[in-house]
Structure 1
Amino acid sequence: MRGESTGALERAVAAFRAGEPVLVHDADDREGETDLLYPASAVTPATVARLRNDGGGLIFAALPATVADRFDLPFLHEAVDHPANDHTDLGYDAHPSFSLTVNHRDGFTGVTDDDRALTIRRLGEVSADADYGVDAFADEFRTPGHVHLLRGAPGLLDERRGHTELGLALAEAAGVAPAVAGCEMLDDETGGALSTADAEAYARRYDLPFVEGAALIRALE
């Protein structure tokens, strides 16, 4: 690990260990977006409120391939037989990471801050339990629901360098449960992705770590 990359990673790792958020920008030549990421096991209703108010994009929970396989979660594009399921024009990636959408069965509609926090937090907690399999998952969660599950590439950053893999690699480096919650940060005025400069300003305003994907990748090599 080197210089600036080391410092950025150390601060991000410390934040994740404390259950605090980290802002991660993937790359200008990829999506060019900054995601607000949390360790899933630390998510509370206040976390969900921050994600939807300060992030504004899609609230998701990402799981590594080993955990997704244990829960028998497919890539959605491999499970859906429909003519709209065509991603050959996806300019920034080979295929999407989306899997099922889920709600926790103890919630009500599944969309409230309380309900989504319960769903995401439990996903984080059970992700670390090697004995928790698909039957237990089906007893506790239902699909469809209001939390989008994303599957990480099996090789993580060696195979794909999206926010899913960047967040999961950060969780692994921090030694927390292998599940990450996040949301893309959008600009309220333009409706587009929040600029990198504005994302960095947000991070400074709330004293949160901001990490460039490239720096994170270099630091973890």
Structure 2
Amino acid sequence: MKHLLTLFISIQFTIAQNLEGKWSLIISNETYSYPELTVIEITKKDIITYSFDTLLYRNKLKIDTINNYFKEGFSKSYHEYKYGLPNKNKLITYLPTVHNAEKAKFVYVRLLPTIINHPIDEILKKQYKHFYPVTFANKQPIIKLSGVMCSEQTMKFLGQENCNRYRLEIIDSTYFIVYYTNQKHKQWMVPIKEINHDHLIVYGVHGKEGFVKLNEIKEIVPTQKVFIKN
């Protein structure tokens, strides 16, 4: 069952750690989020929130050095979050819920420049082993970055615009695998650390720690016979 996730971007963290830069929310493949594909940028004075690369809003930060957190904005009403930072490239925030229920946990990963060791045009022709197992939400164990994932028969029934697909997209110098449920709606993404001849290395994968290697599938697995341009 998919869950609707509403995000409030107020963040606390230890002042000693340098958190300036862009961070993307780690999103489960069974979760819808709002804003869609949340990315935050932390500066010395602001938190800037994006839906992927579309600017949504910018809020001023006020640093509380005694309690070690940032207040977003300067109003009397603001959310206070506890924090945890297991490593320098991960930011964990906790959102208080109503009636003192268990707090919702949101994890962000720092965006790193993608190391490109193979031409981008070439990887668009390849298929890779998926980092998620086959489930109801993930019916095919492959990722391909062009065309759609529907079979030809399914595409005729649903229409090409309603077929799910993966795309290679970029923010600044970071490439992402972006999953679309249809032609317009982005559901989740993972940043790419390295693009190599026969594999990709990704990170920020829900349920997996550290870097994940996606090996190229040499034998093409059929999903549809009709090629659809990006």
TM over 0.5: no
* Richer in helix (by share): 1
Instruction: State the structure with bigger RCO (CA 8 A, min sep 6), 1 or 2.
Output: 1
TM-score, scaled to structure 2? 0.28
TM-score, scaled to structure 1? 0.29
* Richer in strand (by share): 2
